[in-house]
Chain A
């Protein structure tokens, strides 16, 4: 039920939304869950009914069939036994008839009759008993007296001795004797019967009986439709069978279970008068795939067993028929039970379905519907209760509906309010820098939601409140408001709000005793007014007001709402303020970071310079030390070499007279030796001085700047150095040629440098440039290549900059770091000391506090840039 109520509520709400009439609900579908439930009940009861009736019928039928089966089995056994008895009776009759016919030929006086008479009688016997093939008359001594046959010629008094024949003696002893069954001509079953005569000295009549004639007897027995009888002897050999082939084939049935059982039984030797009663219950046998029932009876005198077999299916036919009948009755019963069950369950489930449909209708909201069940039982009373409940539900429903409408209205309002707030927030987020749109939205929303005619926001600036934005104001009133600075005081709404710091409600501006600007109020058509302070951290920064053109005091709810709008306005104002502050601060921070970054870069450069300088200084000290140590021995070498030359000259002068005494050859030889000595010494001097030069420059390197500084024109200094270098190079190599390009900054201010040192610097760099350009020209560049060296000077206020560019071979990147190290050179041995650029570096960095940088592209150009600061 609760689920239906839920659905009902939702339905009612929806209907209220759409059409506002609850009647629309009645058309809604019943819940889909109701169908399986109905089916379940119907099926359950139906199955229960059918199941019960079926079970009863089935059990009944089962018991009936079981009993019928047992009775049938018993009857069958009885019937079979009777049939077996009957069959045995017939066989016994057959044999008995032969005996009876033979009987009168065994009498004593008959045997004494004439041969012709006896023969005649025998022929007659043959005529009467077709089964007898041959007859013999034996006298008391066992001698054959007469033989009459159907097949052969008759024999009279052959005298053949049969006295040893067991049949003969047996017949004498027991009056009658039967031979075992034997086969003539392979296939003809025969039985010999010997009957002893009565009276004194009796003879014996012996008859050969063709047992094939029993076939007619066996065939004559009607045993069911497909049943038959057969006879076996005491060895289990077949004597008679409807299928004569089996007999002719001399078949043994001793292996068949029922025959074996029968033979065992007969072996027990119960001498029952002929024929014996059957004493075997039916046993099953399998014959050519068909299950057979068999029974037997014995013929003890002959030692034969007579079997009667009937196919099981045939024997059980009555049972099957009765089972079939039962099944038909059962089926009919089931059908009837099903129909009755269907009818009854329909009768029962029908009202329940009505009830269900009715409740579903009520559940779906159709409270006017009534359940019409007229069964006069519990179901009807249940339906009545449902009807009553529906009526009550209908009553409570109307109240509920009203509440729902109210609640919906509230929800609608709050939704609108939420939308308004979100609108304000949206506008605020869109205009971060400008406050006006946000405040405008606030006043618009305030007018709409508080059902006011107008709204304004005033902001506190320099102790007075000024009108900022408004909505719904007429132009005149807005001009008044915009042109007025409102001070704190209870004579105006804004002032009063500022004074109290709380919401102020003026029910009617015209009747309020303290409210002063009543004229303005009339112009603005305001009567009921409401003001709320805009508080930032408890301090008023402005006021929001709303007003109505009629006297209609604002509700508590509207006050609350306006308070929220006031908060929104404060947030908006605050946002803009904060945003601006942050903006200012971030600009300042950006500047600061730029400054820091520059300082950091300078610091980094200075550090690199310092490291390089330190490295160079230590190398320079090392160099100076070495130079100093070498200089003394070198001085000895040089001085003594010069002295030796002088001494040699003295020796030549002193030895001149002595030489004259010598012959020419000797003289020439001595002259040659002295010449060589002189030249050797000159070479020592020359190279010694070169070494001295190297040492000196090393010492210079370490010594640092010696000369004084003065202000010079850098362009002039460079030009002089350039000329000097060019002519020096021409002096060394006549073929030397290079294009010189000068790009001087004419406005370059005089700079304070050590001119000698700087001249050395430039000479070094220029000569390196010449060397590189020349080498590239000689290294097989094409004819169009013009070796060029370009000098550029530039001035900035802090430093002068000189660039020396050549289109020489360039400097590979891997050796650029080593370039300024002492003794590093790429020139062949003897051409450079490896100190030139090292000294240059020292001079620029240490002496002048400047910097030197290299830029190069191998195979294209090299460029040295020297920066000389004006204030080192």
Chain B
């Protein structure tokens, strides 16, 4: 072989590689729809999850984040906007956001999180095999209402009565929730928070269960203020409310759920069909207690309750 031929071969071998690297795929766009106003912490958890999987925002992935700031009326518009951005995947937080996104998205894959009953709500055919374009992380099907009730009663051994609070328009969406609470305690319904709480107070209920609601998380400052003003003990499902001054909370770690949702995003970006990825249920629950609030309310919490708490705010 002559020298020139050898050189040609080398050039050919080098040239061979270059087209593959020159071929650039478009950077996938990920949309996140959250109903919460202070999405920061959960969004950070989501970003952390992406980083752990090796994605670099702006480089290997684009992120579009929209928040309804607690106003469920705004969700459909935001969902449509995110879909029109040609997102590869839409990640949703909570039942309402998932619902409106499903309406808007068509066939775009949706990764939901913290949805109470995906099968009952029609998001999936089954947990193992969702079948549609929705998958993600659900809350526990049976809910934690009983456990929370137990905790609430432990904190307030003599509440008079126990009532429940839920967000406007969420009743229809969470039938299970109501079934559970009806078996657990007397059921009271209200829409307007202040009137509800004052009514609770008037009815001498010293304990209230605030149901999982993005609305309440968004409005948590007012929320925690109301029970405290009326000397009512409340248990929430989200630790954030306890941080803001709520008495207790028990529930799955929603931020961690969003972090875990990134693994679904990763799988879908790698070509998996959302209908084939099983919906995951939470395994870890956290309990938070605000001792200061307890003190304000004049409650002495038993050690067994404190033992359960993952986080105790002094």
Contact = CB atoms under 8 A, between A and B. Distances in A.
A130 B278 CA distance: 22
A150 B147 contact: yes
B277 A245 contact: yes
A187 B140 contact: no
B127 A151 contact: no
B142 A248 contact: no
Interface stretch (B81-89, B104-112, B160-168, B280-288): B280-288
A153 B129 CA distance: 30
A149 B307 contact: no
A124 B307 contact: yes
Interface string A355-373: 0000000000000000000
B267 A123 contact: no
Interface string A199-224: 00000000000101100000000000
Given A212-B283, A244-B280, A248-B280, A123 B128 contact: no
A696 to B, nearest CB: 127
Contacts of B65: none
Given A248-B128, A249-B128, A151 B142 contact: yes
Please report whether the interface of chain A is mostly helix, strand, loop or mixed according to DSSP.
mixed
A842 B144 CA distance: 167
A188 interface: yes
A152 B142 contact: yes
B122 interface: no
Contact of B127 (A120, A154, A186, A244): A186
Interface in A122-156: 123-124, 126-127, 130, 133, 149-154
Interface in B107-148: 126-129, 140-142, 144, 146-147
A152 B147 contact: yes
A130 B284 contact: yes
A150 B308 CA distance: 10
A116 B303 CA distance: 11
Contact of A210 (B126, B283, B304): B283
Contacts of A123: 304, 307-308
B278 A249 contact: yes
Contacts, number: 66
Nearest to B303: A120
A185 B267 contact: no
Contacts of B283: 130, 133, 188, 210, 212-213
B43 interface: no
B147 A151 contact: yes
B129 to A, nearest CB: 7
Contacts of B278: 187, 245, 248-249
A386 B144 CA distance: 113
B50 interface: no
Interface residues of B, number: 27
Contacts of B276: 245
A126 B263 CA distance: 27
A226 to B, nearest CB: 13
A187 B281 CA distance: 8
A116 B304 CA distance: 9
Interface string B141-157: 11010110110000000
B279 interface: yes
Given A187-B127, A187-B128, A245-B278, A151 B307 contact: no
Contact of A186 (B126, B142, B263, B308): B126
Interface residues of A, number: 28
A244 B141 CA distance: 19
Contacts of A188: 281, 283
A219 to B, nearest CB: 11
A186 B119 CA distance: 12
Contacts of A187: 127-128, 278-281
Contacts of A154: 150
Interface in A94-137: 116, 119-120, 123-124, 126-127, 130, 133
Contacts of B279: 187, 248
A250 interface: yes
- Residue from B149, B284, B303, B304 having most chain A Cβ neighbours under 10 A: B304
Contacts of B144: 151
Contacts of A120: 303-304, 307
Contacts of A149: 147
B146 A153 contact: yes
Given A130-B284, A185-B281, A250 B128 contact: yes
Given A119-B304, A245-B277, A245-B278, A150 B285 contact: yes
A127 B263 CA distance: 27
Interface in B247-288: 263, 267, 276-281, 283-285
B263 to A, nearest CB: 8
Contacts of B285: 150-151
A151 B151 CA distance: 11
Contacts of A250: 128
Nearest to A250: B128
A186 B278 CA distance: 10
A249 B129 contact: yes
B248 to A, nearest CB: 15
A119 B276 CA distance: 41
Interface string B201-225: 0000000000000000000000000
Interface string B281-314: 1011100000000000000000110011000000
Contacts of A186: 126-128
Nearest to B284: A130
A186 B138 CA distance: 13
Interface string A703-717: 000000000000000
B309 to A, nearest CB: 9
9 contacts: A123-B304, A124-B307, A151-B140, A151-B142, A243-B267, A244-B263, A245-B276, A248-B278, A248-B279
Interface of B: 126-129, 140-142, 144, 146-147, 149-150, 263, 267, 276-281, 283-285, 303-304, 307-308
Given A127-B308, A152-B142, A186-B126, 9 more contacts: A130-B283, A151-B144, A151-B285, A153-B149, A185-B140, A186-B128, A187-B128, A187-B278, A245-B278
